[in-house]
Copies of this chain bind each other. A is one copy, B any other.
Amino acid sequence: MSNSNKSQGTQAIILGIGDELLRGDYADLNSSLLARTLLQHGWTVLEIRVVPDDLHTLADAMADAGKRADLVISTGGLGPTDDDLTRHAAARAGGCELGFQEGAWQMVLDWYGKSDRTPPESNRRQALVPEGATPLHNPSGTAPGLRMELGRATLFCLPGPPREVGPMVELELKPWLGLHGPEGQFLHTSRVYLASLSESQFADEAGALLERHAHALVGVTAQAGRLAVTITARAATPEQAKGSAEAIQAQFLERFASHVYSTTEPTLEKVLGLKLIERGISVTVAESCTLGLVAAALGGVSGISKVLSETYCTYSNGAKTRRLGVDTAMLEQHGAVSEPVAQAMALGAAREASARLSVAITGLAGPDGGTEAKPVGLVCFACALDGQVVAVESKRFAPAGRAAIRAWATNRALHLLLLALGAPA
């Protein structure tokens, strides 16, 4: 039965090596790249472990990983200096000798040869290879990688710099994964991207949906009102895995219909921008409290200039009147943070930019300026299409700080524009 040995041969451990990671000089970007790559190939990552440049600790961590997993991938510690100990640790963990290898040395010579240089003496260290290990070509740096057997596992040792790891994942790791993937164990991941929803609202609504599925893993990550739901199903055939993941996905699509903005593209502004470009609908934005954030999100979409000519960042009342034609009497009567002003801003921006679609955002991002009637976190929105206001609303976001309120308001504004375009993704 394929399920009975499902954990046979597809469990991986990732080791990040280097004092600089334990000092927090850098976030460990290599491990997330490796984790994504492994997931795509049907492997389960048991653990990511970051360990120091210490021979004993490193050899122990490798030997331990070699007992628990079928694949161990390390990054870092292959440089030419004395604190680069990965080769030595791999030899010690594998109980074998470390020796100078001509093949690995040739790789180092080739790297230097590309720019007509000869390697310094310290680089000879990079040609040390544990007995029986295969050196791996590194197209972007001096340090060759290594592949060897260790315990029940295969060990890959890759260099530390992320710009060297990326190409080696493509050239060395992925081909190996293609030949050593899980047998009779297939994974399929389906996704649902939601907007205008907090993680707790999602949890309340989704409760039963999250528990029901024995053969699927449902993960949720949240960011300022955007949620990414990942459904990973396992099955004995690719078709079954796909069917299982998509059946659960369909339940989420139904339950959260008005919040769904994509099943493939995580970036809300990209979904929106591409739809605007595809339909040739011109767009503009009038921003007060989000000053520039909605414009900047749209500006990140390649080709948006086809449908976007200009947007408005109007902080002061004077700018709202001068640029967007908001009536001064209205500003006095209702205040800048009000639904009538949001509507006037949306209509004024569309008129000024000759745009079919527009959104306006005016609110209190704080930390100062709130009152009992209009507290920090209150944001008014309006959306206009072809000269008509099609949505107007006030939201009261949690007072989680200026940056959080602006981020929430930005995502809500982008979602309102998308909703104004009709049918969900």
A122 and B200 contact, CB distance less than 8 A: yes
B16 and A48 contact, CB distance less than 8 A: yes
Interface string of A66-82 (1 = CB under 8 A from B): 00000000000001111
How near does chain B come to A374, taking the closest CB pair, in angstroms? 13
How near does chain B come to A73, taking the closest CB pair, in angstroms? 12
Q: Which residue of the partner chain B has the closest CB to A407?
A: B163
Asked whether A131 is an interface residue with its Cβ less than 8 Å from the other chain, the reply is no
In the assembled complex, which residues on chain B have CB atoms less than 8 Å from the CB atom of A319?
A: 309-310, 353
Q: Which residue of the partner chain B has the closest CB to A163?
A: B404
- How many residues of A are counted as interface, with CB atoms below 8 angstroms from the partner's CB atoms? 113
Q: Which residue of the partner chain B has the closest CB to A292?
A: B295
CA distance A304 to B200 in the complex (A): 33
In the assembled complex, which residues on chain B have CB atoms less than 8 Å from the CB atom of A211?
A: 82
Q: Which residues, 299 to 348 on A, are CB-close (under 8 Å) to B?
A: 299-300, 302-305, 308-316, 318-319, 322-323
A303 and B368 contact, CB distance less than 8 A: yes
Asked whether A31 is an interface residue with its Cβ less than 8 Å from the other chain, the reply is yes
Chain B interface: which of A87-95, A213-221, A237-245, A253-261?
A213-221
A80 and B200 contact, CB distance less than 8 A: yes
Q: Which residues, 202 to 227 on A, are CB-close (under 8 Å) to B?
A: 203-204, 207, 210-211, 217-223
Interface string of A21-32 (1 = CB under 8 A from B): 111111111011
Asked whether A356 is an interface residue with its Cβ less than 8 Å from the other chain, the reply is no
Given contact pairs A81-B203, A217-B19, A50 touches B48 in the complex (Cβ within 8 A):
yes
CA distance A292 to B279 in the complex (A): 24
CA distance A38 to B25 in the complex (A): 12
In the assembled complex, which residues on chain B have CB atoms less than 8 Å from the CB atom of A353?
A: 319
A residues with CB within 8 A of B: 16, 19-29, 31-39, 45-52, 79-83, 111-112, 114-117, 119-123, 140-142, 161, 163, 199-201, 203-204, 207, 210-211, 217-223, 228, 230, 287, 289-300, 302-305, 308-316, 318-319, 322-323, 353, 366-368, 375, 377, 396-404, 406
